Structures are given as structure tokens and as C-alpha cells.
Amino acid sequence: MSVGSSEGIPKRNCATDPAPPQPELAMLKAGQVLFVPGTEKKFLYRLNTGQIELHWPIAATGQDEIETLQAGEYFSLGFLDYHVCSAVAGTDAAIERLSRARAAHLAEVEPDLKARDGVEMQREFTHRRETIIAAATQALPQRVAAFLLVVERFNTYEGRDPLIVSDDMTGPVPVVCDYLATDADALGAALKQLSDLGAIEFLPPRGVRICDLDFLADFADCRQEPAFHAGAARPHQI
């Protein structure tokens, strides 16, 4: 699965879409926190002067990887609607705060924005993968459900059908196995359980369709008993 594309930046119709509002300027003192993980992405930012440090949590080590941004760089992009990193001013810094809708306008004139979007999308996808793998107390079907939800969000961002997961998930070396650190047999059993629960259906020749997004979200969070929709067969034990 490629997550380096930034084709998900919505296209802007210059004839009908109004020009986006102008950016707001803000000054940060060294050490000042701009946002933290889990908070809503409300703005797109551009660093004018100084340095911004993005602290990307690494689930496997419990440590942060620090990325230092320089003047002219954008940040707070990606496909998730919440932050998975924190942003801290490494020095006194001046930033522009822009509406997220402005990304489409800027993408027309600033190719670096698309490249940065791809970087943040890759980091977010990796973060979600590591978080899912680190959830060792969850059974594989719950982790697969969580992964499908990530793909659904990513598909939405890139303008594809969000409910169709069309990667090779049933072949000898399924792509998703790499993300979940499992094997094809275990993955197949987990997908069969989700199918028996009525949460997904298989699409020939390969791939799945998400049938019940709410149930899948509840199941991934272990709030939903792994029981049954009306008419669904009892799942196989794995």
C-alpha cells in the first residue's frame, strides 16, 4: 500500500471556489508547545522564522523521534483529523496559521506542500500501524479491525471509496501482513471472523468491503461483544 501520495489534497475550482482567508501570524517563544498528540487538527501551519520541533512518538521504543523544521516548511498536514505528534518551538519562531481548506489553493502554486503532505501521511500511517501492533492485549481480529479503520480514513482522504479495501489481502503474502506482523493464515482467519460477524464482506478476486463501520469501530475498541448481528453465523474460534 502506497502512502506517499498526496493526491488526497482536495482539488480547488478556481471559477467557483472563493479565495481562502489570509493567514494569521503568531509568535512562539522557545519551548512553547503549539499542539500535542490527540488534539484536533484545526489549522495548517507555515514556519516563517526560527525552528519548530515535531516530536513523533515511536510505539516500539516509547521514545520520540524529533524532526526539526526550518523556515518555509509547512506542517499539520496528513490524512488523520487529529495530531499524532507534538509541535514545540525549538527557538523563538514566527508561524502563519492558515485554514486547512487553504491547502488546496496552496497546492496549486507550492509543490513542496504536496511533498510535505506525503511525509506526514507516511508518518501517520506508520504511527497507526505501530500502535495497532503494540496493542498486544488485543486479539488479532480486533487489530485487523483497527487496521481496516485506518485504511478507511486514508481512502476517504485520498478520494477513493472509503469502504473498499482492495489491496491483496488474500494472496500468499498479503500486504496487510507486513503492517500487522502476522501471517496469511492468521489474517485469513481474522478476516473470516469479521465476515461472519457481518462487519465486512469479501470481494472477488480479492479485497474486502466494510459493511458496518460503526460495528467495526466498536469491535476494534473492544466495546462491542464479539457476538453477532441478527442473522450472522457464529464466528470460528481462532
Q: 17: pLDDT confidence band, cut at 50, 70 and 90?
A: low
Q: What is the mean pLDDT of residues 175-196?
A: 86
Q: 237: pLDDT confidence band, cut at 50, 70 and 90?
A: very low
DSSP state of 230: T
Quote the domain boundaries for residue 103: 24-130
Please tell me whether residues 146 and 173 are part of one structural domain: yes
What pLDDT does residue 79 have?
Answer: 83
Please tell me whether residues 121 and 145 are part of one structural domain: no
Query: Is it the case that residue 92 has pLDDT exceeding 90?
Result: yes
Please tell me whether residues 123 and 149 are part of one structural domain: no
Please tell me whether residues 102 and 174 are part of one structural domain: no
Q: Which residue has the higher pLDDT, 181 or 218?
A: 218
The single residue listed with the C-alpha cell 501551519 is: 45
Residue 181, domain member (yes or no): yes
Q: 137: pLDDT confidence band, cut at 50, 70 and 90?
A: low
Q: Which of 75, 109, 130 is the last residue of a domain?
A: 130
Please tell me whether residues 123 and 147 are part of one structural domain: no
Q: 194: pLDDT confidence band, cut at 50, 70 and 90?
A: very high
- Total domains present in the chain: 2
Say what the alpha-carbon torsion angle 129, 134, 140, 141 is, to the nearest 10 degrees. -60
Q: Which of 103, 130, 157 is the last residue of a domain?
A: 130
- Interhelix angle 102-109/111-134, nearest 10 degrees: 130
Q: Which residue has the higher pLDDT, 14 or 96?
A: 96
Query: Is it the case that residue 143 has pLDDT exceeding 70?
Result: yes
Residue 2, domain member (yes or no): no
Please tell me whether residues 29 and 58 are part of one structural domain: yes
Q: 20: pLDDT confidence band, cut at 50, 70 and 90?
A: low
Q: What is the mean pLDDT of residues 16-21?
A: 54
Q: 28: pLDDT confidence band, cut at 50, 70 and 90?
A: very high
Please tell me whether residues 85 and 150 are part of one structural domain: no
Q: Which residue has the higher pLDDT, 141 or 224?
A: 141
Please tell me whether residues 176 and 124 are part of one structural domain: no
Please tell me whether residues 53 and 99 are part of one structural domain: yes
pLDDT, averaged across the chain: 79
Residue 3, domain member (yes or no): no
Please tell me whether residues 216 and 123 are part of one structural domain: no
Contact assessment for residue 5 and residue 154, using Cβ atoms and an 8 Å cutoff:
no
The per-residue pLDDT for range 198-224, each reduced to its tens digit, is 999 998 877 899 999 989 988 887 544
Taking residue 74's Cβ as centre, other Cβ atoms within 10 Å add up to 22
Query: Is it the case that residue 7 has pLDDT exceeding 70?
Result: no
Residue 231, domain member (yes or no): no
Please tell me whether residues 192 and 213 are part of one structural domain: yes
Q: Which residue has the higher pLDDT, 160 or 44?
A: 44
Residue 10, domain member (yes or no): no
What pLDDT does residue 21 have?
Answer: 60
Q: Spell out the residues 6+ positions from residue 75 whose beta carbon is closer than 8 angstroms to its own.
A: 45, 47, 52, 54, 69, 87, 116, 120
What pLDDT does residue 83 have?
Answer: 94
Q: Which of 87, 109, 130 is the last residue of a domain?
A: 130
What pTM value is reported for the model? 0.65
Query: Is it the case that residue 95 has pLDDT exceeding 90?
Result: yes
Query: Is it the case that residue 225 has pLDDT exceeding 80?
Result: no
